[in-house]
Chains A and B, each alone.
Chain A
Amino acid sequence: MTDVNSVRPQARAETSVRPEEVLLPPVDVIEDAAGITLFADLPGVSRDRLGVHIEGDSLTIEGRILLPAPEGLEPIHTEVGLAVYRRVFTLSKELDPDRVAAEFNQGVLKLRIPKVEHAQPRRIAVQVA
């Protein structure tokens, strides 16, 4: 037991507002010399319900699921029990947020984040003295 837990319990209660429960979409992140490619699975999200935002160095991917279903549907077995996907990544400074290209096809988002020009690799010649 440390004293930290008992310090200002009220302040703690105020700040620990539970964030909305969301689905965490699985991703693949692959880096090559020119940039980073990110694939994310967001099944059930249509193009107009998908949001990709970059603010400062944080990249947010979010989407809302809309499934075609008849009225009065009673769930029997549920594996996807929430309707919102969200995942946030922190970009590093050598990535260029202004030239991000996005494709979205059948629930798969592909993001290409190139590196800024000067961060791209350059072969360094080793001089022999």
Chain B
Amino acid sequence: MFYRSLFPRDVLAELDRLQRGMQQQGDVSPSIRGTGRGGYPAMNVGSTAQSVEIHAFAPGLDPASLDVQLDKGVLTIAGERPGVLPPKEAPATVHIDERFSGRFRRVVTLPDDVDPNAVSARYTDGVLHVSVQRRAAAQPRRINVV
């Protein structure tokens, strides 16, 4: 009985349930695509009156291999990041393995008023910056009172 669990099984299940509950608490309205937190690439989305700005933290990619698509107001960022870990038979030891490698795909819904024809994407310092203009009609306009 050396490998006996320190805690009874149901306590661990309870902790797991509690942790999931706490993660969901933070989100007022959980998205149908899940929270996506901890995914690769991490994303920040922000907006101004004229545009919607998306920053995807995707270091170490070849910009040509990035697939960015905007379809029906849904932005998809996909690609593949090569791993750096040595093959199993190599005479090397992996001490820490935290970085993401492999294929990835992340999807975000954009506000309704974005203009799919006015999109620009730049990849600098490992961050993909996508800027989508909003339609002119949706922008606030000052109305002169005569």
Show the binding face of A for B, using Cβ within 8 Å: 26-33, 36-37, 39, 41-46, 67-80, 105-108
Contact = CB atoms under 8 A, between A and B. Distances in A.
Contacts of A44: 55, 57, 125-127
B95 to A, nearest CB: 4
Interface in B108-146: 108, 122-127, 129, 131
Interface of A is mostly: strand
Contacts of B131: 70
Contacts, number: 121
A76 B126 contact: no
A108 B53 contact: no
A74 B124 CA distance: 21
Interface stretch (B10-18, B38-46, B72-80): B38-46
B60 interface: yes
Shortest 5 CB-CB contacts between residues of A and residues of B: A107-B126, A107-B59, A43-B126, A108-B60, A26-B98
